[in-house]
Amino acid sequence: MTRIRIVPILAHVLAIIAVAPLLWILISALRPAEDVFSFGWPRHWTLSNLQYVLLKIPMPRFMLNSAIVSVTVTVIALFFHSMAAYALARLRFPGRGIIFSGIMSTLLVSLPVILVPLFLVAKQLGLLDSYAGLIVPSIFHAFGIFLLRQYYLNIPRELEEAADLDGCGYWRRYWSVILPLSRPVLASLSVLFFLANWNAFLWPLTITRNPDLRVIQLGVSGMQGQYASAWNLILAAAVIAAIPTVVVFVAGQRRLVDAMKTTGLK
């Protein structure tokens, strides 16, 4: 019996240790500047750090840029990926195997690996320093296609056949039958895509110079250089960058976990 009780207690203690760093910066960001390194529970709470960062630094602009990029990428990517996945899962055509393995093989390529040549391609296409440059290359990733395809393989044939008998073409079958059925998996993926794009740093760093195009992660990392040791402000910016991700995670947690669990395993 005692064995069984030790596990939950240990788990809870470790869980608290795991989130402690996150809680600690949240608390520290709410301390007055001179107390930022105080060790105990804050004697005074203040919103002035957050206020300063939001009003004196174009943090709202950075957030808006990130929101535009993340939402656009998520919507377009889900649309394109579900179309591709539909074809791969439900339609028969010459070259299906080759196209599928070709798409899957791109999963092995991570951004840092192709960063330099991707930059050269984007430059050739005139994508430097533009929203298009932030958005377009971020759309294409095989992970979403793979996950959606797995999902579509399990949808019963009869549903589509009924639509076929009603005289629906392939587009109508995709749009009116498959897409509505894939709401849960699309929701999971949208959480995942939003988080990945909101947190993106390397590509925005590479493709933009214009301060007006700066996304939140660039803005926050820029604080480091500009406000070298004004830790109260740096932390406030970090908290602002992190809050949307934590909110999205808590709201979409179950869906996210479902999507994660399927990663490359089935």
Partner 1 sequence: MTRKRREALAAYAFLAPDTIGLLLFVAIPMVLAFGVAFFKVDGFGNYQYVGLANYKLMAGDDQLWASLKVTATYVVAFVPIAFVVSFALAMLVRNHFKGIGWVRSAFFLPNVVSLVVVGLIWQFLLVDKQGALSKLLAPLGLGDVSFLGTPSLALGTYVVISVWFLMGYQMLVFLAGLKDVPKELEDAAEIDGAGPWQRFRYVIWPLLRPTSFFVVVNSTIGAVTGLQAFDLVFVLTKGGPARATSTVVLYIYEQAFTFNNMGYAAALTTVVVAILVVCTGLMFGFTRGGRFDED
From the list 54, 67, 221, 230, which residue makes contact with partner 1 (rule: CB under 8 A)?
221
- Residue 189 makes contact with partner 1 by CB under 8 A: no
Q: Does 228 bind partner 1 (CB under 8 A)?
A: no
Torsion, CA 69, CA 70, CA 72, CA 73, rounded to 10: 100
Residue 153 as a binder of partner 1 (CB under 8 A): the answer is no
The closest of 51, 84, 106 to 232, measured between CA atoms, is: 51
**Alpha-carbon distances of 99 from 72, 75, 104, 157, rounded to whole Å:** 26, 23, 9, 23
Smallest separation (angstroms) from partner 1 to the CB of 77: 9
Alpha-carbon distance 135 to 124, whole Å?
Answer: 16
Question: Quick check: 66 and 198 in contact, CB under 8 A?
Answer: yes
Start-to-end CA span in the chain (Å): 36
Q: How far is the CB of 170 from partner 1 (least distance, A)?
A: 4
Window 32-51: residues binding partner 1 (CB under 8 A): 37, 39
Among 111, 168, 179, 187, binds partner 1 (CB under 8 A): 111
Residue 2 corresponds to which tokens in the numbers above?
A: 């005692």
Binding mask 121-140 for partner 1 (x = CB under 8 A): xxx------------xx-xx
Q: How far is the CB of 155 from partner 1 (least distance, A)?
A: 15
Asked if 112 is part of the footprint of partner 1 (rule: CB under 8 A), the reply reads: yes
Question: How far out from the chain centre does Cα 14 lie?
Answer: 26
User: Which lies closer to partner 1 via its Cβ, residue 57 or residue 248?
Assistant: 248
Interface with partner 1 includes 8 (CB under 8 A)? Answer: yes
Size of the site for partner 1 (CB under 8 A): 89
